Amino acid sequence: MASIEDLPIRTELKGLTAYGAPRIDVPVRLHTNENPYPLPDGLVDEILAGLGPVLRGLNRYPDRDAVALRTALAKHVEAGTGLPLSERRIWAANGSNEVIQQLLQAFGGPGRTALGFEPSYAVHREIARSTGTGWISAPRAEDFTVSVDASRAAIAEHRPDVVFLTAPNNPTGNGLSPDTVSALYDAAQAAGPALVILDEAYVDFQRTPSALPLIEDRPLLVVVRTLSKGLGLAGLRLGYLVGTAAIVDAVQLVRLPYHLSAPAQAIALTVLEHAPALLANVGRITAERDRMVRALVAAGYEVTASEANFVQFGRFRDSHRAWREITARGALVRDSGVPSWLRVSVGTPEENDVFLAAVRERLP
Ligand SMILES: *Cc1c(COP(=O)(O)O)cnc(C)c1O
């Protein structure tokens, strides 16, 4: 058998290509919204010291329920929101992408649908597809915000089993107010019941207050967060959800046993002890974002208001060609498939300067 076309894979996978940003060898890589700052040496040393006993115990399976880690995550969320939380209301997996996959395995699936407000994070739609969940794309407003009236109408029309909200939204950067989250939750339940997944991957960067406290009296609202962005641990693969204990019980029906490795649990535990120090970089990143926005506007571009560690900029007559030219000038940005727009992640000041020099000369 020579190629994938010859394989007896599921019909709905035929002809597709794998999701992911192109991997191109360009000096400055501002295309996957990573945190540009590596872990400090002192923390690396502390992680290494803690890993000794963990590595000696690798003949044993890890804690299947990751109780110590979930307890630390509960404390971390509590510190950020003031909401007292038990570890029974937290679940962790290999990146928030895996958490979302587990949620769709439990709440979506064949014969069910998930609705998202697009353009948004394409992985939501990808996970819907791979779990056999039908996908409904509802539009955002012209300025990429979520219009409450239009969105309520879309939910009432389609009566989805799962609704995705992303705050701040990727790739557009818009925040989402708790009032809007609450209104759309109510609409989803009026048409539902439906699980409402609020993806807060960029919560550490946002000005708008988090809608997480709304979980208190909304049993079908689940907030998904990650250590990949604000905390700068994309390589670790650690994400989590905050919801009711019943939702945590539900994902445990579909999770693979021992899905989170012992080293990952141990590293995350040590990192969380130092979360406040790591989050000090967030201020540097948002200050750089604001500098990039000013420079882009001064160079004649439009930007969408961003509450995250990236900026959507345009408009281009030919965004593919603009992407190629910026790449050729040494900065890799993201073509997220939003017509006329591209997205750039905030890097270090030096990286951002390379990007800004690349776009200063007018592009198509
Ligand atoms: C980056 C990102 C994630 C993070 O995924 P991980 O699997 O936790 O690395 C989740 N949601 C959105 C919207 C993102 O942009």
Residue range 155-212, pLDDT digits in tens: 999 999 999 999 999 999 999 999 999 999 999 999 989 999 999 999 999 999 999 9
Q: Residue 90: phi, psi to the nearest 5?
A: -125, 140
Span from the CA of 96 to the centroid of ligand 1 (angstroms): 6
* Ligand 1 within 6 A of CB of 226: yes
* Ligand 1 within 6 A of CB of 286: no
Give pTM, 2 decimals: 0.97
pLDDT band of 5, cuts 50, 70, 90: confident
Would you say residue 363 has pLDDT above 80? no
Residue 364 is predicted with a pLDDT of: 65
* Ligand 1 within 6 A of CB of 230: no
Residue 17 is predicted with a pLDDT of: 85
Q: Is 51:155 a contact under the CB 8 Å cutoff?
A: no
Question: Where do the H-state alpha helices sit in 131-261?
Answer: 148-158, 178-191, 245-252
User: Cβ–Cβ contacts within 10 Å for residue 81, how many?
Assistant: 17
Q: Which domains, from first to last, does the chain contain?
A: 21-40+279-361 (3.90.1150.10), 57-274 (3.40.640.10)
Rounded Cα distance, 310 and 201, in Å: 12
Rounded Cα distance, 168 and 243, in Å: 19
* Ligand 1 within 6 A of CB of 121: yes
The candidate with the shortest Cα–Cα distance to 220, out of 186, 252, 253, 254, is: 186
Residue range 283-325, pLDDT digits in tens: 999 999 999 999 999 999 999 999 999 999 999 999 999 999 9
Burial class (CB in 10 A: 0-12, 13-18, 19+), 43: middle
Would you say residue 1 has pLDDT above 60? no
Over the range 52-68, which residues count as b (16 or more CB within 10 Å of their CB) and which as e? eebeeeeeeebeeebee
Would you say residue 21 has pLDDT above 90? no
* Ligand 1 within 6 A of CB of 95: yes
